[in-house]
Every structure is written in structure tokens, then in C-alpha cells.
Amino acid sequence: MSDCIFCKIASKEIPSSVVYEDDATIAFDDLNPQAPVHVLVIPKQHIAGLSDAGEEDTELLGRLCRTCDKVAELKGIMDGYRVVANKGEQAGQSVFHLHFHVLGGRRMTWPPG
């Protein structure tokens, strides 16, 4: 999608602080961090949200989860981190490109919000 900010980050049209990248995913520091470590993990392919992923995206969804774990390792938060995916405006999704928030570096509370 030509107007999607995350697509532009994935294609390097917009610079970002890249934490990790492979052929299908890219992870970068969030510009508005909600924890000492706050990284966004996205697929390079545009998918608007979790419910927009199809059966053909099953492997990619697994890759995104593995990327979240790799990010936690690279950022030194393997002792505890949270992964959040918001689906829809009601849940707080503001960029409609599937993304996971990897949060850590402090004790997380429950319920989350």
C-alpha cells in the first residue's frame, strides 16, 4: 500500500532504528515507547491486521513470533517480555498494518489496559 507508513519503513523509504531484519520481517524501535524496550515487529508484506491474515500467511505469522523472540534476545530482555497485537480501532490499533509490540525492561502489570 503506497500510503502505509509501515510499508514505507519496510521498503526503507522512511528511515527507522532497525533492530532486526530478515527476508519477511523487520523490527524497529517504537518512536513513542511505552516501556524501556519497545520494538515493533512487522511483516514486510502488507496485511492490515490479524484477521486479515489468511491460511497462506500461517508460516509468516509463525515467523513474526520467532522475530519477536529474536528481538527480546537482541535487546537483553529474555527474562521477561510482553508481545501485544492490537486488532482494530477499538483495541487501539492506529496503523493498519499488522504489527506486534515487544515490550520489556520493566515489570509488566496485569491487567494490561
Residue type, 86: N
Distances from the Cα of 112 to the Cα of 60, 83, 105, 108, angstroms: 26, 11, 16, 8
* Beta strand 37-43 pairing with 100-104: antiparallel
- CB count in 10 Å sphere of residue 5: 15
Amino acid code (one letter) for 87: K
Q: Which of 38, 46, 97, 99 is catalytic?
A: 99
99 is catalytic: yes
Residues with active-site annotation:
99
